[in-house]
């Protein structure tokens, strides 16, 4: 979606895929699309408004192309969620030379408050796409839940 000046709104979406869940990020830059895909991943688990941005975690990864980098990024977030027992509600991404430097803000899972719906197991290559579109960037894939 573009505004009157042609700027793309950044946002995330889910799309259905059999028993799994598709996550999609859209933004004016590739980095912002990656941030929004990460937001979609967190939103698979819980209501984003319930996540307090109390702790900052640095995440980095690299890959030979943008699509593989998206999968690595989302899998790195899933790893941090699982090993730290955390949920994340805000992300910042910087992309350069096949690498990603990211920051995730969140908190430890509080079962009563977060009421997690599912536990993501991994980002997959199914429906994987990172591409420039007419009005911005799209980054998507299916996540195994």
Domains and CATH numbers, the chain: 11-144 (3.55.10.10)
Sign of CA dihedral 131, 12, 135, 35: negative
User: Could you write out the DSSP letters of every residue in 73-98?
Assistant: HHHHHHHHHHHHTEEEEEEEEEEETT
Residue 7 in this model has a pLDDT that exceeds 50? no
Segment 47-76, tens digit of pLDDT: 999 999 999 999 999 999 999 999 999 999
Q: Whole-prediction pTM value? A: 0.91
> In sequence order, what are the beta bridge partners of 13?
24
Decide if 106 contacts 53 (C-beta within 8 A).
Answer: yes
What CA–CA distance (Å, rounded) separates 144 from 121? 5
Over residues 5-24, the mean pLDDT reads 76
Residue 5 in this model has a pLDDT that exceeds 70? no
Using pLDDT thresholds of 50, 70 and 90, give the confidence band for residue 15: confident
Alpha helix (H) residue ranges in 1-145: 30-45, 66-84, 111-114
Segment 81-96, tens digit of pLDDT: 999 999 999 999 999 9
């Amino acid at each position: 979606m573009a505004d009157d000046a042609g700027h793309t709104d950044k946002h995330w979406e889910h799309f259905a895929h059999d028993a799994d869940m598709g996550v999609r990020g859209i933004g004016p830059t590739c980095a912002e699309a990656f941030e929004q895909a990460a937001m979609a991943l967190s939103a698979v688990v819980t209501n984003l408004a319930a996540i307090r941005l109390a702790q900052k975690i640095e995440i980095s990864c690299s890959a030979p192309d943008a699509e593989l980098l998206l999968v690595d990024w989302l899998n790195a977030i899933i790893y941090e969620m699982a090993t730290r027992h955390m949920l994340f509600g805000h992300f910042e991404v910087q992309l350069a030379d096949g690498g990603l430097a990211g920051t995730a803000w969140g908190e430890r899972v509080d079962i009563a408050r977060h009421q997690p719906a599912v536990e993501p197991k991994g980002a997959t290559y199914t429906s994987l796409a990172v591409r420039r579109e007419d009005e911005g960037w799209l980054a998507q894939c299916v996540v195994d839940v």
